[in-house]
Chains A and B, each alone.
Chain A
Amino acid sequence: QQPVQSPQAVILREGEDAVINCSSSKALYSVHWYRQKHGEAPVFLMILLKGGEQKGHEKISASFNEKKQQSSLYLTASQLSYSGTYFCGTEKAGNQFYFGTGTSLTVIP
């Protein structure tokens, strides 16, 4: 039931773009995105509600396609500070919460 993320890992040079995908075999009611830097706690990025809306946070944006049960996180003009592991997450009926498998992003100079 855990959402599956792809790719598992990606290495970028500063200024390059990246896309991280999150897909679920179950219906998604909303999608949450978090970033975790090495040795730190996860930090919230954004929540997307059903309706195909796209939200943004600095140069990071995301889309949510509820029909395809997928969400994508877009990182444009990546900076060194974007390095970390990105997790998508979603709730299940009963307020249980599932995080995805995670995507490790490394930005190099």
Chain B
Amino acid sequence: EAQVTQNPRYLITVTGKKLTVTCSQNMNHEYMSWYRQDPGLGLRQIYYSMNVEVTDKGDVPEGYKVSRKEKRNFPLILESPSPNQTSLYFCASSLSGTPPDTQYFGPGTRLTVL
């Protein structure tokens, strides 16, 4: 089944404790992206990747890191999480990024930083 998977689905952590949210897609998509969703603010792009080893900042990249060492994986790293990073995170992928094509979203990861 074609899908985007994210792990974990729920995470409660404390300020400053490094964490990684994994994202994987099995559709051989070139474009992958991370979004955060907050009430009243909609979905905002954190980082995106056009292909392996090519990543770029989105609208709200501060406090996040990403890597794209393999086409299928696009982990989101929070090296020192803070409470303002409490949010619902979605990973998405699309066949092409030029222009952005249909995006397929993972199920989401709800992160709480205490």
Task: List A residues at the B interface (Cβ < 8 Å).
Answer: 1-2, 29-30, 32, 34, 40-44, 47, 87, 89, 91, 94-102
Contact = CB atoms under 8 A, between A and B. Distances in A.
Contacts of A102: 42
A98 B59 contact: yes
B97 A41 contact: no
B90 A91 contact: no
Nearest to A29: B99
A40 B106 CA distance: 9
Would you call the interface of chain B mostly helix, strand, loop, or mixed?
strand
B21 interface: no
Contacts of B43: 42, 87, 89, 99
B44 interface: yes
B45 to A, nearest CB: 5
A96 B46 CA distance: 10
A47 B102 contact: yes
Contacts of B104: 44
